[in-house]
Structure 1
Amino acid sequence: MDRLAAISMLWDGMRKRVMRGVPKDEAIVFIDAQRGADDLVVTICRGFSPDYLSWSEFKSLGSFATSAVVAAGWSCRKLDQIAESVREGLFLEEELDQLREQARHKRNRVYIRRPSD
């Protein structure tokens, strides 16, 4: 699945929950993280437009940013560690892939339920 299709699916699934009771200019949906030149780069949707920020800039957005990471099934602490490893030049792509897979698994567990649930 290409990145644009993944963003679209994630946005559709999370938009209603995130937008409920939050002004459009403050709503943030965390989409993905990838290695940048000297920091982790995150892809988010703010309002209705995608945005790319360094991890440091993203964290400076405050509690809305933290909530978006958690709602997407990611771990802020792990992303901090990965961002630090990028800055130190010790980045391992496998760590980010594993974190991405764990987030996908968490989202599936939340959104896909058996009829008995």
Structure 2
Amino acid sequence: MAPAELDVEIFWSPAPGELRERRLSLPAGSTLRDALVASTWFDPGQLATLKAGIWGRMQALDTPLRERDRVEVYRPLTVDPKEARRQRYQAAGRRVVTRHRPLGRKA
């Protein structure tokens, strides 16, 4: 028997370094759009321009939710990731080493 309510969490970072999160109880059969409206963070007119997803994957607003889903609202990138790496390199004056690409000879 399906539950009458869904418990989901919604996360949104409106600005760098700021994170908002809220737990919602929604009726069974609710969609991603319903969760965004229930959060009260967005006007219904804004929803068409939002990028949102579930568990890190972009989804359409009419996607049905499941129990304990993590709804995420994404903001647009302000800097291209490649450009951000160049800026970090210039600021540090040396190559920034990541765990994915260690220094050394290329294979």
TM-score range, shorter chain: under 0.3
Select the structure with the greater relative contact order (CA < 8 A; seq sep ≥ 6): 2
The structure that has the greater radius of gyration is 2
Instruction: Give the TM-score normalised by structure 2.
Output: 0.27
Indicate the structure with greater helix content. Answer: 1
Indicate the structure with greater strand content. Answer: 2
